[in-house]
C-alpha cells in the first residue's frame, strides 16, 4: 500500500483542484499532510532551500517583466490601433477581417505573450464588427479565441519561461525552437479561414466598404505596425543574436513598452500604478503556485513517486516514444479541467526526471508541452480563452457557438503536435542553425 502513496497524493491534489480549492495552497497543503504523516516534519528542512532557489532564480525574473510588458501594451491602445487599421487594410479581401485578427493575434503574441489580454482586446474590438459584417458567429469567435492563444507558443512566452525553469533548460533555446511551430500555427489558422471561405462562403462576407471616416489612414497603419515590430525586434532580436539573455531582453521589453505607451499619450502615474498592481497580482499568483508545487514535488519524490513511475514504465516495456505519447495525452486530457500553470507545476516536475533518464531532448519536450498546453485554453468546459471571450461577447453569442467555433482550430493544434512528435527536426533545426553560425 505504501508504494502507492505518491499516486494517492497526486490524485488527492488533482481532485481538490477540480473542486475549486486554490492551486498553490492545495499543492502545499497536500504535500504538508502527506509529508508529515509519512516522512516526518524533519523532512521539510530541505524545503526552505528549494524556495530560496526559486526566489534566487535569475531566469524567472523574466516572467514578471514579460507580464509587465504585456499589461503595459494592453493599456497603451497599441493593440486597438493595430486591429482597427489591419482590419481596414484587409477589408477588401473576402474574409479579410478574419485574416487580420489572426495576423494581429500573432503580432500581439510576439509583443505581449498574455492570452487573456489579447483575447479580451480582440473580442471587444473585432467581434462586434465581424458580426455586424455578417461573419458567422462560430467563425468569428473561433478565430478570435484561437488567435489569442498564440501567445502560449510564439516567443516571448511566459509559459516557455516557466517550462524552461521546470525542465532546467535554456529559455533562449526554447524561444528559438518555438519559432517554427508558432509560425506554422499562424499559417494553418489562415489556411483554415481560407478553406472556410471556399466551402462555406455564406459564413464570410465579401468586400467590405468603409465610410470615408473609417477608411485606412496609411500613417496610422505604419505607426501601428512599426511600433510593435520594433519592440519585438528589440526583445527577440537581442536574444537570438546572443546580445542579451531572456531576462535582460525582458527588461528591455518592459522599458520599451513604457516608452511606447508614453508615445501614445497613455502613460500617467495612475496608469503606471494600475499596471504595477496587475503585474504584481499575476506574478504573485505564479510564484505562489511555484512554491506550492515545489513542496509537492519534494514530497512526491521523497515518497519514491519518480521511482514508482520509472518501474511502471520498465515493467510495461514502454519505449521512450510511447512514454512521450502517454504524457502528451495526459496533458491534453488535464487541459480540459485545469489551467496551464497548474499542469506546468504539477505534471511536468513529475515526468521531467523520467524524460531526462530516458535520454529524451528536453528542448523538444518543452515545445511539445507548450503546443499541447495551448489547447487547454480552447478545450471546454474550462477553456480560459473561451471564458475571456464569453465575458466580453454580446449577449446573443451563445456558449454552444463558442464551443463549435474552436473545433477546427483545436484539430489544427493536435495535427501540429503530431507533426512535432513525428518529426523532431522541425523543432531543432533553427537552434541548430543558430549554433552552426
CA triplet 430, 435, 437: central angle to 5 degrees?
Answer: 100
pLDDT tier for residue 413 given thresholds of 50, 70 and 90: very high
Question: What is the domain range of residue 292?
Answer: 2-436
Report how far residue 192's alpha carbon sits from residue 419's, in angstroms, rounded to the nearest whole number: 17
Tell me the percentage of the chain whose pLDDT exceeds 90.
10
Q: What are the C-alpha distances in Å from 135 to residues 92, 183, 407? A: 14, 25, 17
Tell me the percentage of the chain whose pLDDT exceeds 70.
86
The whole-chain average pLDDT of the chain stands at: 80
- pLDDT value of position 191: 95
pLDDT tier for residue 184 given thresholds of 50, 70 and 90: very high
pLDDT tier for residue 188 given thresholds of 50, 70 and 90: very high
- pLDDT value of position 195: 93
CB 401 within 8 A of CB 131: no
- pLDDT value of position 91: 64
- pLDDT value of position 143: 92
Q: What are the C-alpha distances in Å from 150 to residues 147, 250, 306? A: 6, 18, 32
More confidently predicted of 387 and 173? 173
* Mean pLDDT to the nearest integer, 179-184: 90
* Mean pLDDT to the nearest integer, 306-315: 68
CA 149 to chain centre: 6
- Is residue 397's pLDDT more than 80? yes
Enumerate residues 6+ apart whose C-beta is below 8 A from 322.
none
- pLDDT value of position 364: 93
- pLDDT value of position 371: 92
More confidently predicted of 417 and 313? 417
CB 113 within 8 A of CB 156: yes
Enumerate residues 6+ apart whose C-beta is below 8 A from 211.
none
Q: What are the C-alpha distances in Å from 75 to residues 41, 81, 103, 218, 276? A: 47, 12, 20, 23, 12
Enumerate residues 6+ apart whose C-beta is below 8 A from 409.
142, 143, 145, 146, 189, 192, 378
* Number of domain units in the chain: 1
CA triplet 333, 353, 311: central angle to 5 degrees?
Answer: 80
* Mean pLDDT to the nearest integer, 111-129: 73
Task: Enter the C-alpha cell of residue 371.
Answer: 503546443
- Is residue 210's pLDDT more than 60? no
Enumerate residues 6+ apart whose C-beta is below 8 A from 135.
97, 98, 203, 204, 205
pLDDT tier for residue 392 given thresholds of 50, 70 and 90: confident
- pLDDT value of position 212: 47
Report how far residue 9's alpha carbon sits from residue 17's, in angstroms, rounded to the nearest whole number: 13
CB 119 within 8 A of CB 144: yes
User: Could you tell me the maximum CA-CA distance found in the chain, to the nearest angstrom?
Assistant: 75
What is the value of pTM for the model shown? 0.77
* Mean pLDDT to the nearest integer, 412-434: 86
pLDDT, tens digit, 9 for 90 and up, residues 82-98: 777 777 777 677 878 88
How many Cβ atoms sit within 10 Å of the Cβ of residue 191?
Answer: 11
CA triplet 227, 280, 290: central angle to 5 degrees?
Answer: 110
CB 245 within 8 A of CB 239: yes
What one-character DSSP code corresponds to residue 235? Answer: I
Q: Which of 8-22, 214-228, 299-313, 405-419 has the lowest mean pLDDT?
A: 214-228
Report how far residue 38's alpha carbon sits from residue 9's, in angstroms, rounded to the nearest whole number: 11
pLDDT tier for residue 213 given thresholds of 50, 70 and 90: very low
pLDDT, tens digit, 9 for 90 and up, residues 4-58: 787 788 788 878 877 777 777 888 888 888 888 888 877 777 778 777 776 777 7
Amino acid at each position: 500500500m505504501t508504494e502507492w502513496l505518491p499516486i494517492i497524493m497526486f490524485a488527492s491534489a488533482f481532485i481538490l483542484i477540480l473542486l475549486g480549492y486554490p492551486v498553490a495552497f492545495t499543492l502545499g497543503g497536500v504535500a504538508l499532510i502527506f509529508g508529515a504523516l509519512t516522512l516526518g516534519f524533519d523532512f521539510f528542512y530541505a524545503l526552505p532551500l528549494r524556495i530560496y532557489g526559486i526566489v534566487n532564480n535569475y531566469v524567472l525574473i523574466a516572467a514578471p517583466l514579460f507580464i509587465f510588458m504585456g499589461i503595459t501594451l494592453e493599456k497603451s491602445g497599441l493593440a486597438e490601433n493595430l486591429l482597427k487599421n489591419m482590419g481596414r487594410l484587409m477589408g477588401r479581401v473576402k474574409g479579410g477581417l478574419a485574416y487580420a485578427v489572426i495576423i494581429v493575434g500573432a503580432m500581439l503574441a510576439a509583443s505581449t505573450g498574455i492570452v487573456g489580454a489579447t483575447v479580451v482586446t480582440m473580442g471587444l474590438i473585432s467581434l462586434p464588427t465581424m458580426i455586424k459584417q455578417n461573419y458567422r458567429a462560430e467563425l468569428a469567435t473561433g478565430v478570435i479565441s484561437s488567435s489569442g492563444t498564440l501567445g502560449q507558443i510564439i516567443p516571448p512566452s511566459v509559459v516557455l519561461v516557466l517550462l524552461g525553469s521546470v525542465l532546467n533548460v535554456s529559455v533562449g533555446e526554447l524561444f528559438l525552437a518555438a519559432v517554427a511551430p508558432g509560425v506554422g500555427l499562424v499559417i494553418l489558422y489562415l489556411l483554415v479561414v481560407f478553406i472556410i471561405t471556399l466551402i462555406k462562403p455564406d459564413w464570410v462576407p465579401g468586400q467590405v466598404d468603409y465610410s470615408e471616416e473609417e477608411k485606412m489612414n496609411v500613417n496610422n497603419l505604419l505607426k501601428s505596425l512599426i511600433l510593435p515590430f520594433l519592440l519585438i525586434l528589440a526583445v527577440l532580436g537581442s536574444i537570438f543574436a546572443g546580445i542579451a539573455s531572456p531576462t535582460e531582453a525582458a527588461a528591455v521589453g518592459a522599458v520599451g513598452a513604457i516608452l511606447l505607451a508614453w508615445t501614445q499619450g497613455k502613460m500617467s502615474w495612475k496608469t503606471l500604478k494600475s499596471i504595477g498592481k496587475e503585474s504584481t497580482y499575476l506574478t504573485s499568483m505564479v510564484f505562489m503556485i511555484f512554491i506550492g508545487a515545489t513542496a509537492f514535488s519534494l514530497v512526491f519524490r521523497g515518497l519514491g513517486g519518480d521511482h514508482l513511475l520509472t518501474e511502471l514504465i520498465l515493467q510495461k516495456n514502454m519505449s521512450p516514444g510511447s512514454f512521450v505519447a502517454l504524457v502528451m495525452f495526459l496533458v491534453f486530457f488535464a487541459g480540459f479541467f485545469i489551467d496551464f500553470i497548474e499542469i506546468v507545476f504539477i505534471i511536468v516536475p513529475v515526468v521531467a526526471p523520467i524524460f531526462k533518464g530516458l535520454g529524451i531532448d528536453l528542448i523538444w519536450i518543452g515545445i511539445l508541452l507548450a503546443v499541447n498546453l495551448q489547447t487547454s485554453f480552447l478545450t471546454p468546459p474550462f477553456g480560459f480563452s473561451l471564458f475571456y471571450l464569453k465575458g466580453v461577447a454580446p449577449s446573443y453569442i451563445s456558449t454552444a457557438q463558442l464551443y463549435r467555433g474552436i473545433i477546427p482550430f483545436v484539430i489544427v493544434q493536435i495535427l501540429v503536435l503530431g507533426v512535432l512528435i513525428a518529426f523532431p527536426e522541425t523543432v531543432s533545426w533553427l537552434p541548430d542553425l543558430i549554433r552552426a553560425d
